[in-house]
Homo-oligomer: A and B are copies of this chain.
């Protein structure tokens, strides 16, 4: 086995352990007395849960972010979100380049794995580009949010809130400083709309940004960008239409009576599950049909190479086109005059199957360990599982009431959801076992 192969095999482990180390450091910082408001104490399990939720850019909380943590604690959360959102490997490369040392092969391959770049070329350039663009969009977000928050909260608090929530929206993390997410802002379409755009921008991923920004030069868009944008647009429009029908109650919500505010709120219901975690209405009050749609959107999530979680728009887009082709009797799966590689379709199918198994097992365990309030049913558990696995961060109310086993399950889900099924599982299962030198005979089996 060559050295490069050895490196390649150990990379998922480095990635997995790296995330774990960041979470542990974060939990220790949050456990410091200076992180907790005077008069309150923080259990280590809660500090660990919060650090996991932040690093995995989820936003599920066992403690109220606004009421429990000091500004120091909130800044720790924000930094963990930024690290999780941009990826710690990006920081590694930046650090190396700042130290004026060439990133070595391992580091560069690591970046490639984590960001799914198809070639090793320009990793350093791309990293710089990703970080600059991400920070630029977030800075733009801060500027725009200030117009809303400074008149509302004054210069100091207004600026702080603008920074915090711009980071959260762009990184698709669901922490907020209002205590009840955006539920008080359903009559503020300006704010909701700006946050929607930040969430969507973060969830598209840098491969899409690059294609869009270089359009004037190259006049060429990759298949990845085409399928990602098509799926994103389809989901946003479709979900907005369905939520407009099912959540007609938004008209009765305090202050959201005018049509434009209701439209923006409905649009936000479609945007937030992919996978922002902020909400304009409590999900416990949503209709059953709306909850199911939200679950589906959380499971799908955003685009690969972005701050969003879920099984990704490209995965669902490819499987959709593939199924359509199979059912119609077509041989190839095509989109925009291109064929998908066989390997892509295969990987997508395995990803969704393993994801489904993980979700079902988690639901079964939580169904046994957690208490479901009388007015809810299975959706109370499934919602939280999909929210964690998709690193969405929405809640129907289970997370603050989790048992210890429940907390562990939700943390594991967030971790797998953010680091990636393939990376985590590969770390756990692959013990560098040698490939066999022979192949068995093929045999067919009845399916369906």
Interface residues of A, dominant DSSP: helix
> A363 near B: Cβ within 8 Å?
yes
Q: Is the CB of A443 within 8 A of B222?
A: yes
A218 in the interface, Cβ–Cβ < 8 Å? no
Which one of B296, B328, B354, B444 contacts A327 once the chains associate, using CB atoms below 8 Å? B354
Interface size class of A (residues with CB under 8 A): 35 or more
A296 touches B377 (CB 8 A): no
Minimum CB–CB distance for A440 against chain B, Å:
5
Please indicate the chain B residues that have their CB under 8 angstroms from the CB of A448 in the complex: 116, 304, 311-312, 315, 347-348, 351, 420-422
| Interfacial chain B residues near A246, Cβ < 8 Å | 368
In the bound complex, CA of A378 to CA of B379 (Å): 5
Contact A447 B360 (CB under 8 A): no
Q: Report the nearest B residue to A381, measured CB to CB.
A: B288
A328 to B435, CA, bound (A): 10
Q: Pick from A147-155, A183-191, A331-339 the stretch touching chain B.
A: A331-339
The answer, yes or no, to whether A4 is at the interface (CB within 8 Å) is no
The complex places the Cα of A341 from the Cα of B318 at a distance, in Å, of 21
Q: Which residues of B contact A303 (CB under 8 A)?
A: 446
Copies in the complex: 2
- Please name all residues of chain B whose beta carbon is closer than 8 Å to the beta carbon of A304 when the two chains form the complex: 446-448
Chain B contacts of A443 at CB under 8 A?
222-223, 338-341
The answer to whether A118 has its CB under 8 Å from any CB of chain B is yes
Q: A100 at the A/B interface (Cβ < 8 Å)?
A: no
B292:A323 contact, CB within 8 angstroms: no
- Hey, which bits of chain A sit against chain B, CB under 8 A? 9, 116, 118, 205, 207, 222-224, 227, 242, 246, 287-289, 291-293, 296, 303-305, 311-312, 314-315, 318-319, 322-324, 326-332, 334, 337-341, 343-354, 356-357, 360, 363-365, 367-368, 372, 374-382, 420-422, 425-426, 429-430, 433, 435-436, 439-448
